[in-house]
Amino acid sequence: MASSDFALFMGQLFRKPHQVVALAPSSAGLCAEMVAELDPDGGPVIELGAGTGNITRAILDAGIAPENCHSIEMNPEFCDHLRDRFPGLNVYQMSAGECGDLPVENVQAIISGLPLLSMPTQLQRDILTGFTQKVAPGGQYVQFTYGPKPSVTKAVRDELNLSWRRSGKIWWNMPPARVYRFSHGEHV
Ligand SMILES: C[S@@+](CC[C@H](N)C(=O)[O-])C[C@H]1O[C@@H](n2cnc3c(N)ncnc32)[C@H](O)[C@@H]1O
């Protein structure tokens, strides 16, 4: 990660701590786990809370073409940075709660760097409802978390019939994290 990316991240963390909600950008190990099940031929991907683009970089390195990656980020400084860093990437400056409105269908996965568990339940519901609208059969909502509980609150999991599995702990991250993969209906 370039030192200018790190400086941008820390500057925005200082100005907007309630939006960024992380001590540091995601590590290489966490990014690798987030994209581990992407298929280069599996269709488009939506990314939520792209920040300075560490997970975006991993999505593209997994073989997803920039025009097949749709990255939502609400912070305008991060959006400008993403457009400079990744020519051809679809960058949307908007709330992740509106992901159901994106002009893309049948996505293979939504990869989320959002601080989801610190968000209000209604916003979580809007985001995961968007997932159920946009995802292809068998597709995943991929979300890391630092704590011991699943990274989508139980009320929303139950309402939307979401099943999940989780990775081992990724220690080489600040703080250590796990990746949860949620599916809609019977697929996990
Ligand atoms: C923990 S940082 C993750 C950044 C990057 N994906 C990473 O893993 O290093 C969370 C990001 O989500 C963005 N964010 C927070 N709430 C959001 C919302 N409602 N809609 C879109 N982006 C949001 C923040 O601006 C921030 O860039």
The string of pLDDT tens digits covering residues 18-32 is: 887 777 889 999 999
| pLDDT value at 1 more than 80 | no
> pLDDT value at position 76?
96
CA of 178 to the centre of ligand 1 (A): 17
pLDDT one-digit tens code per residue, 79-123: 999 999 999 999 999 999 999 999 999 999 999 999 999 999 999
Least confident range of 5-14, 53-62, 130-139, 170-179:
5-14
Residues 130-166 as b or e (16 or more Cβ within 10 Å = b): bbeebbeeebbbbbbbbeeebbbbeebbeebebebee
Mean pLDDT calculated for residue range 132-156: 95
What is the pLDDT at residue 63?
98
Cα–Cα distance, 20 to 96 (Å, whole number): 13
42 lines ligand 1 (CB under 6 A): no
- Please give the backbone phi and psi of residue 170, each rounded to the nearest 5 degrees, phi first: -100, 100
Measured at the CA of 51, the angle between CA 115 and CA 183, to 5 degrees, comes to: 50
Q: Report the pLDDT value the prediction gives residue 16, as an integer from 0 to 100.
A: 83
pLDDT computed for residue 188 by the predictor:
52
Superfamily in which the 3-184 domain is placed by CATH: Vaccinia Virus protein VP39 (3.40.50.150)
Specify the pLDDT at position 186: 62
What is the average pLDDT across 1-28?
81
Contact between residue 140 and residue 182 where contact means Cβ atoms under 8 Å apart: yes
Give 161 Cα–ligand 1 centroid separation in angstroms. 25
Query: Ligand 1 centre from 187 Cα, in Å?
Result: 27
Question: What's the pTM?
Answer: 0.94
Residue 9's pLDDT is what? 80
- Residues 6 or more apart whose CB falls under 8 angstroms from that of 21 comprise 115, 118
Strand partners, 177: 170
Q: Name the residue at shortest CA distance from atom 26 of ligand 1.
A: 20
- Count CB-CB contacts under 10 A for residue 30: 23
- Alpha-carbon torsion, ordered 188, 103, 121, 17, to 10 deg: 110
**How many other C-beta atoms are found inside a 10 Å radius of the C-beta of residue 184?**
19
Mutational test site, ligand 1, from 8, 9, 69, 114, max ligand atoms within 8 Å of CB: 114
Q: How far apart are CA 35 and CA 18, in angstroms?
A: 26
> What share of the chain has pLDDT > 90, as a percent?
81
What is the dihedral angle through the alpha carbons of 69, 166, 173, 66, rounded to the nearest 10 degrees?
A: -10
Q: In this structure, what are the phi and psi dihedrals at residue 95, rounded to the nearest 5 degrees?
A: -80, 140
User: What atom of ligand 1 comes closest to residue 50's alpha carbon?
Assistant: 6
The answer to whether residues 82 and 114 touch, using CB atoms and an 8 Å cutoff, is: no
Choice between 2 and 82, residue whose per-residue pLDDT is larger: 82
Mean pLDDT of the chain: 93
Dist. CA 177–CA 118, nearest whole Å: 15
pLDDT at 25: 87
pLDDT, average across residues 126-152: 95
Determine which residue's CA is closest to atom 8 belonging to ligand 1. 26
91 lines ligand 1 (CB under 6 A): no
99 ligand 1 Cβ < 6 A: no
CA of 10 to the centre of ligand 1 (A): 13
